A and B are shown apart, each in its own frame.
Chain A
Amino acid sequence: MKEQKNFVNHIRPGVVPSRALSVLYTFCLGGLSFLAFVVLGVTGLLLMFHYQPGESNGYDSILTIASVIPYGGVIRNLHYWAGQLMVITVNLHMLRVVWTRSYKPPKQLNWLVGVALLILILFLDFTGYLLIGSQESGAAATVAVNILGLIPGMGTGLAQILFGEPSALSGSTLVVYVWHCVALPMVALLLQLYHFWRIRRDGGVRPL
């Protein structure tokens, strides 16, 4: 069979070495992370139809979504638990890569891309926590702003860019909302696609 260089062949190659079919090598942890990311994208988009960021609106709209809007509770919980799952699987994925020495050449660049993705996912998780707008999120935002403020010179400005001006009682601000819903997911998605493409480029056959 003639191997064509197209996307379908990339996703479903004509020949797969039998050793690549072993689930126990990767435990599908990268694939599970991507699945969680897709679920987060879909449910997150749906949440945006009813969520309103802001110190006074954030927590109220979360309560409304969770208890008044039809099926809002399901969508919010899917988003919440997929987020928790993704943080777990992403960390386990990294441990697996260390365990199988998969960070070594020729895959050292993909390891660095993965580390960048880990940081992005943790920041997405944190901004999502802030958007709940509860008192805990206000405390978390205050701690984050104070820590950033310790960086000499640029700390205060950086905190302003990343978090806006969250109050001590609610971490939900328009700035956090934009990072969480648009900027960070876009960068994370593009990096992930590059991450997957690099697997093949570095000689791997496993799509996950």
Chain B
Amino acid sequence: MPKQQDWTRRGVLRLAWVGVVAASALTIEPLVQYLTSKEDRLQSPLVAYNKPIDINSDWQNTANARVWVKRDSFGVMALVATCTHLGCEVHYHPEKKQWLCPCHGSIYDIEGRPVSGPAPKAMPRVAVERKPDSSLMINTAKQVGMGTRV
């Protein structure tokens, strides 16, 4: 590299190549993240849940962030926490016994029925199946009524 006083135009342009290489190196990590992202892979509609649930427990999250299970005196139910307005993931707030959608402020009661906000209907309940080893298999592709328990 030339000394400070005899920097030529060519010297500066040569140095610019270092910047080009450095800028290219910075794109490697984003590229790897982009190319290895599995967010759009086909997901199985089946979600397993093998922890015990107490009767009248609160909603429990499963391995799939949007699938929740709960057990009352009639049995086990499963809910998909996808907002019925525009499909955002709805968060459960156990202290308020409410489901809140972060996108447009829809509020659902503990059963997933809309209380306020733009959500037009209750969040979907899906089928639960009890396996022989007493673990649960939730089929998110199969909707069931609000009163269904297993």
Asked if B30 lies at the interface with its beta carbon under 8 angstroms from chain A, I say yes
CB-contact partner of B34 in A61, A64, A72, under 8 A: A72
**Among the interface residues A49, A61, A70, which one has the most CB atoms of the partner chain B within 10 A?**
A70
Q: Flag if A49 contacts B39 (CB, 8 Å).
A: no
Asked if A46 and B40 make an inter-chain contact with CB atoms under 8 angstroms apart, the answer reads no
Interface size class of A (residues with CB under 8 A): 10 to 19
Separation in Å of the B87 CB from the closest CB of chain A?
10
**Which residues of the other chain, A, contact B37 by a CB distance below 8 angstroms?**
50, 68-70, 72
B33 CB to closest chain A CB (Å) equals: 4
Least distance between B88 CB and chain A CB atoms (Å)? 11
**Bound state CA distance, A46 and B39, in angstroms?**
15
Assess the A70–B33 pair: CB atoms within 8 A: yes
The answer, yes or no, to whether A189 is at the interface (CB within 8 Å) is no
Inside 8 A of A72's CB, which chain B residues have their CB? 34, 37
The answer on a CB contact under 8 Å between B39 and A64 is yes
Contact residues in B for A68 (Cβ distance below 8 Å): 37, 39-40
User: Could you tell me the distance in whole angstroms from the C-beta of B104 to the nearest C-beta in chain A?
Assistant: 15
Q: Is B20 an interface residue when CB atoms closer than 8 A count as contact? A: no
- Closest-CB distance, B24 to chain A (whole angstroms): 12
Interface residue ranges, B against A (CB under 8 Å): 30-31, 33-35, 37, 39-40
